[in-house]
Structure 1
Amino acid sequence: MPVESREATSALTEAYVPDFFTAQPALSSHEDLFQMICAIRDEPNRKREELSKRQFQAGTQGVMRSTVMSDQNRSMNIAASVLFLTNCGTSYDCADFVEDGGSSITWRDNVTAKDFVSEAYPKNLHPYFDEASDDYKGADVISTIIATKLVKSGFVFEPTNDLRSHLSITYNKREKVVRIFHGVAVLKEMLLASQINKDSCMIPRTVALEVLYTIHHVLFPSDRASQALLSTLVRKRQFDRSLLQYEMARYRRDDDPDITYSYFGTRFSEIYDEMQDPTPRAGWESWLQKYSSPRYMLMATMIGVFIAVILGFLGLAVACVQTWVSYQQWKHPVKQP
């Protein structure tokens, strides 16, 4: 298992706290978690409720496991989170999966693992990447969304272990944060394994390939500046070192489709739109944005016209006074002594 996968698994299991009233915890070792993951992977067409019953109906010696339902559900969520590389309803204290702005997806009891993956990673081709759409601008988007350009536009990057959070944007008072899934070694291992056994990869190959492509071909291409930025992120922002090693041809199969950004194209479009029309973050920028909308521009124009009329009347009044004073001086001249 790759290093970052072990670290993510370790973080989840360390955060696992069994139910106080259970006679025996659902997870007593990493081996229990591994067996649960294998059970889900080996029977992808079996519903979660059935998998849970088979797992907890009997222990290794055929003895009934005395675990409460809440603890069983908690352990199943942890196993699913590790296997599907996303937050499947893990406990709120599992900080590696529950992040600011992140969201979990529930694996329901009557849904199979295969159907759950389809729900977790739906295809959604954005018009920017649809060649049949009038809004198609794929080449422009890709040439714009380069990490070095994003940094100059005020973006910062953070690593995430949640695959569904890849390329998501969150905002704080001063920064626009783009999350990047940095556990690429796990994806590489999945792709290599599925070259031999197509059923060994629970995550769709197109999703894994698209994530690798978005990182190594779009955000961080092979030019010196992009690679220097990537090295800095690995060194200073705790991105995984596996990001520095990449060879696309090694992980592709002959039957793999071309990359069309059908999974993460919407995220790219959000970043692109943000670069074209930045969301104001500072106080004065927010005020300027608020009062620069069309209705406020019209209001400002009307106020300007009103002020101009008032100034015109004041100017006319001053001119009348000056004329009156001049007339009085002409009519009643002051004699010099």
Structure 2
Amino acid sequence: MPRTTTSDRTKISERLLGKADEFPAYFELYESLVAHGSAHIIQIDQPRESDSASHDDILWIVELLKGNPRVTWAELNSQVHEQNLSSITTSGINKAVNIAVQAMIMVDCAARDRHSTTYEVDSYRPISWEPSEPFLDFVQRAFPRDSEGDRRRIKQALRNRYILKAWKLKKRLGVTFRMTDNLMEHLLYDSHNQVLYLFHQTAFLKAHLKRSSAHLAMECSLEESLKLGTVPPQLLVETLHSLQAVLFPILDDKSADILVRLTKKMGFDDDCNQYDGYMRFKEPPEDFTYHYWGGRLARLEELVIRREPRNKLERWFRWYTTDVNALAIALLALAISIVVGLIGIVISSIQLWIAWEAWRYPVAPPV
């Protein structure tokens, strides 16, 4: 299948990212999406086949989603089939919608179909856009906000973010960093395999944040954001902040070295190394907190603090520093103090009795 041309990329980047630029990592993903599973999902300047769609079709579907974020999967498929793409099969339309959603907001809306029914990572299970579900509701499920009950844990994790630097996670938890193009999987930690998934498309995040900052307030609703073709600025800022201020802070050389290796050898977006701020502010205000990734950040902090000991010495220290054992040791120390006190009282009493007897019955000095 022919790759996108320069004019195709210019049009796509202008419509979906707000400016005509190269975006190499983004278009590497886009090319893989259109080629995945079939050689005929997308084709350019060729007769249309029964299972094909063009780049213009993808952009048109994005406009439908922006125009009505409450459209259901079934309604969108019907509109696509009836209005513009009637020659494409249902399978082709499904693929085109999947590509449009991921190109628009970096969410795989058929993620559940790509995993087994038992697949689960740290309470996360992939979801898909249901046929009768409004697009808005699907995206809300994809990005649930942290509960109020987690506020304290999240604030503590942000205060302790110095222990969440990439090199410390690697040293203390043996973490391997793996990139993901599905924004839903950002900061997802697979403790079984010691893998931390990171959404690496920072050029995409910055482009969307720049677009949204001109039209949306930080606390805008999800529906307002989708009408602009993006996710809420708060979510964009948190994702960038977690990467460039928590895991890979600019002044931390050890973490920076890890990031360089990830970009050069593991396929991370080269833009990850460009610390040009979060577009909204240079440094978060004092009251800045997470509303989307806070729970996962707090989970990481908890794992670092309470990680399983790796050797006998660490197990010994862990045993003597746990709350339960600290209480047991304190009680044992109290018991010993009581016993020593009683022995001291007994000895003092004996000494007092001896002194009393010596006073009552003094012994005459020898002549």
AA aligned to 2:80 is: Q
Relative to structure 1, the CA distance from residue 106 to residue 55 in structure 2 (aligned partners, 3 Å threshold; closer, same or farther) is: same
Answer yes or no: is the 8 Å Cα contact 1:166–1:181 preserved in 2. yes
Q: Which of the numbers 260, 273, 295 marks the counterpart of 1:244?
A: 273
Q: Does 1:42 align with 2:71?
A: no
Q: Please name the residue that 1:180 is paired with.
A: 198
Q: What TM-score do the two structures reach when normalised by structure 2?
A: 0.63
Query: For structure 1, which segment, 135-144 or 74-83, has the greater mean C-alpha deviation from structure 2 after superposition?
Result: 135-144
Q: Please name the residue that 1:160 is paired with.
A: 180
Query: For structure 1, which segment, 139-148 or 100-109, has the greater mean C-alpha deviation from structure 2 after superposition?
Result: 100-109
Answer yes or no: is the 8 Å Cα contact 1:187–1:208 preserved in 2. yes
Cα distance in structure 1, aligned partners of 2:265 and 2:256: 14
Q: State the 4+ residue runs in structure 1 displaced beyond 6 angstroms.
A: 91-94
Q: What SS is found at the alignment partner of 1:180?
A: strand
Query: Displacement of 1:218 after TM fit?
Result: 0.7
Q: Please name the residue that 1:143 is paired with.
A: 162
Q: Please name the residue that 1:305 is paired with.
A: none
Query: Displacement of 1:249 after TM fit?
Result: 5.2
Q: What SS is found at the alignment partner of 2:210?
A: helix
AA aligned to 1:225 is: K
Q: Please name the residue that 1:83 is paired with.
A: 104
AA aligned to 1:186 is: F
Cα distance in structure 1, aligned partners of 2:158 and 2:114: 41
Q: Please name the residue that 2:136 is paired with.
A: 114
Query: Displacement of 1:76 after TM fit?
Result: 1.7
Q: Please name the residue that 1:203 is paired with.
A: 231
Cα distance in structure 2, aligned partners of 1:31 and 1:16: 20
Cα distance in structure 1, aligned partners of 2:304 and 2:183: 23
Q: Please name the residue that 1:192 is paired with.
A: 210
Cα distance in structure 1, aligned partners of 2:24 and 2:72: 30
Relative to structure 1, the CA distance from residue 25 to residue 259 in structure 2 (aligned partners, 3 Å threshold; closer, same or farther) is: farther
Q: Please name the residue that 1:230 is paired with.
A: 259
Q: What SS is found at the alignment partner of 2:129?
A: coil
Cα distance in structure 2, aligned partners of 1:26 and 1:40: 21
Query: For structure 1, which segment, 150-159 or 68-77, has the greater mean C-alpha deviation from structure 2 after superposition?
Result: 68-77
Answer yes or no: is the 8 Å Cα contact 2:212–2:230 preserved in 1. no
Q: Please name the residue that 1:65 is paired with.
A: 86
Q: What SS is found at the alignment partner of 1:138?
A: helix
Query: Displacement of 1:257 after TM fit?
Result: 10
The CA deviation string for residues 168-196 of structure 1, in whole angstroms up to 9 with x for no partner, is 11245xx5111111001111111111123
Answer yes or no: is the 8 Å Cα contact 2:69–2:136 preserved in 1. yes
Gaps of 5+ in 1: 293-337
Q: What TM-score do the two structures reach when normalised by structure 1?
A: 0.68
Answer yes or no: is the 8 Å Cα contact 2:240–2:278 preserved in 1. no
Q: Please name the residue that 1:317 is paired with.
A: none
Cα distance in structure 2, aligned partners of 1:139 and 1:170: 21
Q: What SS is found at the alignment partner of 2:279?
A: helix
Answer yes or no: is the 8 Å Cα contact 1:125–1:265 preserved in 2. no
AA aligned to 1:197 is: H
Q: What SS is found at the alignment partner of 1:216?
A: helix
Cα distance in structure 1, aligned partners of 2:241 and 2:165: 12
Answer yes or no: is the 8 Å Cα contact 2:157–2:301 preserved in 1. no
Relative to structure 1, the CA distance from residue 247 to residue 259 in structure 2 (aligned partners, 3 Å threshold; closer, same or farther) is: farther
Q: Does 1:260 align with 2:282?
A: no
Answer yes or no: is the 8 Å Cα contact 2:177–2:197 preserved in 1. yes
Relative to structure 1, the CA distance from residue 120 to residue 106 in structure 2 (aligned partners, 3 Å threshold; closer, same or farther) is: same
Query: Displacement of 1:90 after TM fit?
Result: 5.6
Cα distance in structure 1, aligned partners of 2:261 and 2:120: 23
Instruction: Work out the number of aligned pairs and report it.
Output: 270
The CA deviation string for residues 160-217 of structure 1, in whole angstroms up to 9 with x for no partner, is 1111111111245xx5111111001111111111123344242111111100011111
Give 1:213-224 correspondences, 5 Å limit. Answer: 213-223=241-251, 224=253
